[in-house]
Structure 1
Amino acid sequence: MNQTLQTNVEMIVQKAFLVLAYHAHRILRFPLFITLLNSYTD
């Protein structure tokens, strides 16, 4: 894989992760979501 493409992919992945983390932070305010998350992680 060429270096420029790899760097672009890494940047996109980082941005996607930040967006997901931001929405997850908002969703985590709801206790129901936490309950569902706990039931899936057990």
Structure 2
Amino acid sequence: AMSHEVMSIPTMIVFKGGEEQRRIVGARSKSQLVSELAEFLG
């Protein structure tokens, strides 16, 4: 957590090629998560 500067729970970090692409901090509904992650879900 410290190496990725996670200060709050929940925190979701999406990596691509070792680089952070998206950081989502805080509680989200399923529909919000799906919407925010749609570009990564193929």
Q: Tell me the TM-score normalised to structure 2 length.
A: 0.29
Which one has the bigger strand percentage? 2
More contact order relative to length (CA 8 Å, sep ≥ 6): 2
The structure that has the greater radius of gyration is 1
Task: Provide TM-score, normalisation by structure 1.
Answer: 0.29
